[in-house]
Structures are given as structure tokens and as C-alpha cells.
Amino acid sequence: RWQELGLSTDGRAKFPHEGDLIYFPITKALFQILFIEDEAIFYQTGQLQSYDMLCEMFTYSDQSFDTGIDELDKIERSHSYSVDFTMDSGSGNYTVGETVYQGASLAAATVKGEVGSWNSTDKILNLLNMTGNFSGTVNIIGDSSSASYSISSFDAQQSAANTAATSSNVEIEAAADAIIDFTEGNPFGNL
């Protein structure tokens, strides 16, 4: 099945490798392959028909997904650190996933980012995977859309707070605060 899907086009052997990701649409979850047992005892028809894989749920940590499959790329957009820019005057519409930049051209850009979302009504541009610091005096230009707008304002602190609110340790921290009493008299709760 691995070969039927054409998943061996990257020049590697024709079977999955440790570190590869598998997406299950039913659960809408990504799993990372930790180990593959490719030396099974029983070979049907003289070759290996299946693989035993040890997998765990993938923990996103700001990796860049550019698969071209919107359902997978949406994982990056929803979990990535991002900054919302309120745009001022300009023209065009940015497209989700395109590279934006400040500078004479993309090759000579001083700053780059990827469009996470674009609200043309409110002129809110959400950027992720940024390199460098955007300047408020230079237009942000879309590489494929050629949209160009000047920056009115942005709040990096608010965007960081929104990203932090979805981190997995918030629930654990809240539960721990309910158990452990940090007062001076009894630091370990009720004994």
C-alpha cells in the first residue's frame, strides 16, 4: 500500500522510515513513526506485505508543513507562533500559505513570513514562520499575489499570548495549582 500511494518518490527506499508522519483523517491526528519492524518472520508470496510500526501522537513544535494538502497545512497554521498585523493602505489580496516579504524582491528580502490568514474586510494579516523583524515603514508584499500593504499596527505580545493559551501545559498547570498548596505552612497539600 505504501508504494501504491506513491510515497516513495523522495528517492528513499520503498517503505516508511522512523521520523515519518502519518495522518489519520478519522481522528484528525498526526502520528510520528518511532520504530519499524521490517524483518518479519512470515513473508507472504516471498516478500514483505506489511510493516509493524510503533507510533506516537506527533507533538507540534513550530515545524513548517508545506504539503499542499490543506487539512495537513491547517495543523501548522493553528499551532504556530503567529503575529497579527493590522494593515493600512494598499492593494490586492494575500493568499494563505504564500510567502510575504519586505524589500526590493523576494531574493533580496530583509524580512520574510508565511501568510496564515488574510481578512480583507478588516485588513488583518496573520503571519507565521517569520524571519527577521518587520518594519512599519515598508510595505509587506505577497510573492505570488503581488498584494502590497503598509503596516498600521501589530501586537506581538497579544499574538504570543494567544499561542501560549493553546499550549498543552495549561491544563496540567491548572490541575496542579488545585492540588499543591504553595503557602509557607504546608507546601505539599493536606497531610
Q: Measure the CA–CA gap between 87 and 121, rounded to whole angstroms.
A: 11
Q: State which residues of the chain have pLDDT below 70.
A: 1-14, 38, 40-44, 46-49, 62, 155-174, 177-191
Residues 76-107 have pLDDT tens digits of 777 777 888 999 989 999 998 899 999 889 99
Q: What is the per-residue pLDDT for 137?
A: 85
112 grid coordinates? 520574510
171 grid coordinates? 491544563
Q: What is the per-residue pLDDT for 144?
A: 93
User: Side by side, which strands form the sheet with 29-37?
Assistant: 21-24, 29-37, 52-57
Q: Which of 57, 60, 55 is nearest to 73 (CA)?
A: 60
Amino acid of residue 72: L
